[in-house]
Amino acid sequence: MPTNSFSDDFSGKTALVIGATSGIGRAAALAFAKAGANVVLSGLGEEQGRAVVAEIRDLGGQALFVEADVLNEADIRNVVTKAVDRFGRLHMAANNAGTEGSFGPVQDATSEDFDRIIGINLKGIFLGMKYQIPHMLEHGGGAIVNTASSAGVTGIANVAIYTASKHGVVGLTKATALELARSNIRVNAVAPGPVDTGLLARMIEGKMDSSVIAESVPMGRISDAGEIAGAILWLCSDAASFVTGHTLVADGGLTVG
């Protein structure tokens, strides 16, 4: 599996990663730190969050963990407040918290499934931006990246609610980008295909082997979380200074056809 590094320099900047205790979020937090940024990370699980902070400090970086539930508006407001209190400014935000849906036909899903998946995957991103944007407006700009999915740009059978939530992330990202286009705040999304994370493992558990999914990808493999983190950092960087409202699909060609 390739290991991507990112050469841009984020020294003196602060990145907030929501949903950073595992998977893509953890990889993004570490990548921001390696690129010189101060990192504020949030999620559920204080032990896991503090472990990521320890990794960042071992790299010589500065980090703060704030436990937060993305469905709790007060928690998300508190994360942004503590980020600003600690580092003075929020330059970049990656809204990454997400959950899988149960694998099966839509008629077998419950109303509780719908509320949970849409709540975490879509409302959670809305709440993140709701509190990140006013700070960025006050301080002259910033960059936001929301984690969607290849399921946000195409239909995927047997994960209908998850697919709907990720389509919602893409639409929310586009509309918000237009609202902020003259305010020096860029809003983009990253749309990963299958990634070697706990979310994928839970989604397919007892249904299929990961090798079957790998074979469905034109590149013949599942991606590493670090590859998606690299896409997130690029979207936050000056190299993407004229990119907003875009959904960067990183899926090994899965949705090309």
Let me know if 131 is a catalytic residue: no
Catalytic-role residue among 96, 128, 162, 240:
162
Helix locations, 19-110, DSSP H: 23-34, 46-58, 73-87
Cα gap 246→240, rounded to integer Å: 10
Q: Which of 219, 211, 194 is nearest to 100 (CA)?
A: 194
Are residues 191 and 250 in contact, defined by beta-carbon separation less than 8 angstroms? yes
Q: Cα dihedral sign for 80, 129, 88, 33? A: positive
Q: Which of 240, 238, 226 is nearest to 2 (CA)?
A: 226
Active site residues: 162
